[in-house]
């Protein structure tokens, strides 16, 4: 059960409803905005920041989605692991690629560029103080400095808000977990996924 109350869509401010197209979205698509709606200005700022990242980035949507899902695994955000963005699917994301995230360094279907971004996401998610000059030298093999800045901004967004969502335990719409499942859940082990229209 979500640890903070969700604001019903009909109680959202009009600008927030329009910005999110909430009247035409499922509860899962409305996501954590249902809680953030307690503070409409903050909710709109979060959405605007995320939309600005998407619109201004030169990084492929497939790469961004692979990174987002790997961060969701580290964050243990079940909600984040349960959906995929349509724009990433249109850019070549498949569930086979998502399954490659379980052991990305061994995956033959991930590009070297994607592996470098995922390795960076792993460090940023689990041990950010270990990121050093060598990390950035490796990233420069595959990314321009502008792209490294974009990747870092996406990571900050995914790590921060993913942890916030995981801490709120927003899981009511998700399939129940098996009580005897001791393995750490990953985006590659979802029984079903939701495709979000963005």
Q: Are residues 46 and 103 both part of a single domain?
A: no
Q: Assign 143 to helix, strand or coil.
A: coil
Q: Are residues 70 and 38 both part of a single domain?
A: no
Q: 11 or 31, which is more confident? A: 11
The percentage of residues in the chain with a pLDDT greater than 70, rounded to a whole number, is 92
Q: Give the CB-side neighbour count of residue 5, counting CA atoms within 13 A.
A: 6
CATH number for the domain that contains residue 125: 1.20.1290.10
Cβ atoms of residues 67 and 179 within 8 Å: no
pLDDT at 184: 67
Q: Are residues 51 and 103 both part of a single domain?
A: no
Chain segment 166-196, per-residue pLDDT in tens? 898 877 777 666 544 545 677 777 666 767 7
What tokens were used for 110?
A: 């991930």
User: For residue 141, how far is the Cα from the chain centroid?
Assistant: 25
Cβ atoms of residues 14 and 153 within 8 Å: no
Q: Are residues 51 and 66 both part of a single domain?
A: no
Residue 62's DSSP bridge partners are none
Domain that holds residue 129: 59-196
């Amino acid at each position: 059960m979500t640890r903070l109350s969700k604001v019903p869509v009909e109680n959202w401010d009009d600008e927030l409803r329009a910005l999110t197209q909430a009247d035409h979205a499922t509860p899962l698509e409305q996501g954590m905005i249902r809680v953030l709606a307690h503070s409409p200005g903050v909710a709109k700022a979060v959405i605007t920041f995320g939309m600005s990242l998407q619109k201004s980035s030169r990084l492929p949507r497939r790469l961004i989605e692979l990174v987002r899902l790997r961060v969701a695994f580290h964050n243990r955000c079940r909600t984040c692991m349960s959906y995929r963005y349509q724009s990433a699917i249109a850019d070549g994301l498949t569930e086979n690629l998502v399954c490659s995230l379980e052991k990305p360094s061994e995956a033959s279907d991930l590009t070297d560029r994607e592996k470098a971004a995922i390795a960076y996401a792993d460090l940023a998610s689990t041990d950010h103080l270990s990121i050093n000059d060598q990390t950035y030298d490796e990233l420069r093999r595959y990314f321009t400095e502008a792209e490294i800045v974009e990747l870092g901004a996406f990571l900050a967004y995914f790590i921060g808000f993913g942890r916030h969502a995981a801490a709120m335990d927003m899981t009511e719409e998700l399939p129940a977990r098996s009580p005897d499942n001791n393995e750490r859940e990953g985006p590659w082990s979802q029984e079903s996924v939701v495709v979000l229209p963005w």
